[in-house]
Amino acid sequence: MRKAVKAVITIAVLLLMFTSCQQRYIIPMPPISSGNGSKPSVTVPTEPTIPAVEESKTETLTEKEYSSKEISDMLSKGITKIVGAGIDKTIITLPDESTITKSTGTDKKLSVITVNGDLLILENLTVKGDVGSDGTTDDFPKGINVQYSESNTSKVVNIYLKNVKMENFGHAISSGPLKTNYESNSNLFTTNIYIIDSTFENCHKGLYINNLGDLEVFGSTFSKMGKQSTEGDVRTRSGSAFDINQFAEGGDIVFYDSTFTDCGGQGTSGAIKIKVRGGSDETATDIPSIDKIEGSFDSVLIQDCTFSGNNGKDLVLGTQSGADGDTTSKYSTYPKTLAANTKIINTSLQIKDESKHEYKLNSSTNTLYTDMTDTDF
C-alpha cells in the first residue's frame, strides 16, 4: 500500500515539474498571415528615425492658426524642424490672397509650404488647404512643394512627417523637376519621404512625385484621395493617395501598418499607383525623351496594410499611354525586375495592372510574377 501511495506521489511530482517547464519555456508562434495566402511574416520593418536637429533650427508652435507666410519666414531663417502643439491645436493654412495667374487666365492657389532646403521635419500639426469636401482634379493648392535649390549641394531632400494631418489639397506633397530639366540634365535632385502616424484626407493626390529616392510610410491613414478622377488627361485621371511617376533612379518603397479607404475614382486612379517611366519599354511623348531618363526602384514592400473601398484598384501598376489622343505609345511599365522585388505580406489587396504585364501574386514568395515573355509586351 505504501509503495502504491509513494508511486502516485512520485508521478504527481513529475507531472507538476513537466507542466512548470512547459509554461516557462513555451515558444511563441510566428504571426499568421492573412488575405493573400502568404507565408507568416517574420521581419517587421523598422520605423524611420527622425534625425536630431539643433535647437536653433527648431521652431515650436503654439495652439493657434499660422499662415503660409509665417512658415515661409521661419524656413528662410534656417528653420528645418517645426513642432506643433497637436493635430487639432496647430493649423497651418493658405491665405485667400495667395494665388497665381496661370496661362489659362485662371487663379490658382499656391503652396502652403515651399521647401528649398535639404530637410523639413513636421510634427504634431495640421496643414490645411481649401479644396471642398467633394475633392478636386486640380494640382493646386499644394500642401508641401519641394523645389530645387542651388544651395542644396547634396541634391537630396529629406521630408519627415510625424503625427501630421494633410487635408483638402490638390497635391498634399509634390516633388519633381520639370521635363526640360531632365532633358538638359540640369537642376536635378531626389526626394526621400518618411510618413509616420499621419493622416491624409480629401486630396486629388496625397503624393505626386517623379524624383523619389526612398519612401517609408508607417502607421498612417489615407482616405478620400483622388475621388474626382475622371477618364480625362494624364493629370485628372491619376488621382491617388500615392501617384509615383518615376523618372529618376530610386531606392526602396515601404508601406507598413497603414490604411487606405475610399481612394480613387475613374481613369487610372487608385490607392497606390506606381509608374516606372522611360527606357526602351516606353515611347510616350508626355515625359522626357527616353534616352534622357530611365526610372527605377530597388524594391517595394506592402506589409500589414488594410485596403477598402478603392474601386478595385488598391495597387495600380503602370498606366495607360501618355498624352490624350496618343494611341501609338506603349504603356508605361512596371518592370519585371521590380515585380520580382515587390513583396505583399499579410495584406489583402486588389491589383490593377495598367502596364499590361498581367502580373499575379506568388503566394509562396509573396512577390509578383508574369507568365508573359518580353516579346509579349
pLDDT digits (tens, 9 = 90+) for 332-370: 689 899 999 999 999 999 999 988 889 999 999 999 999
287, 321 in Cβ contact below 8 A? no
Cis bond upstream, residue 141 (ω within 30): yes
pLDDT digits (tens, 9 = 90+) for 96-118: 655 544 444 455 668 899 999 99
Give the pLDDT of residue 364: 93
Give the pLDDT of residue 5: 45
Percent of the chain with pLDDT over 90: 62
Tell me the residue ranges of DSSP E strands in 277-338: 299-303, 306-308, 315-317
Q: Is residue 27 scored above 50 in pLDDT?
A: no
Contacts of 18 (CB under 8 A, 6+ apart): none
CA-based torsion, 100, 101, 102, 107: positive or negative? positive
- Between the alpha carbon of residue 189 and those of residues 38, 112, 250, 252, the distances in Å are 37, 21, 11, 16
- β-partners of residue 342 are 300
Give the pLDDT of residue 351: 95
C-alpha cell belonging to residue 41: 511574416
203, 242 in Cβ contact below 8 A? no
Q: How far apart are CA 174 and CA 206, in angstroms?
A: 8
148, 189 in Cβ contact below 8 A? yes
Q: How far apart are CA 195 and CA 63, in angstroms?
A: 23
Give me the chain's average pLDDT, please: 84
355, 320 in Cβ contact below 8 A? no
DSSP 27-58: PPPPPPP-SS-PPPP--PPPPPPPPP--GGGE
Q: Is residue 290 scored above 70 in pLDDT?
A: no
C-alpha cell belonging to residue 353: 495592372
pLDDT digits (tens, 9 = 90+) for 166-196: 999 999 999 999 888 988 889 999 999 999 9
Hunting for cell 519621404 — which residue is that?
Answer: 193
List the alpha helices (DSSP H) in 221-284. none
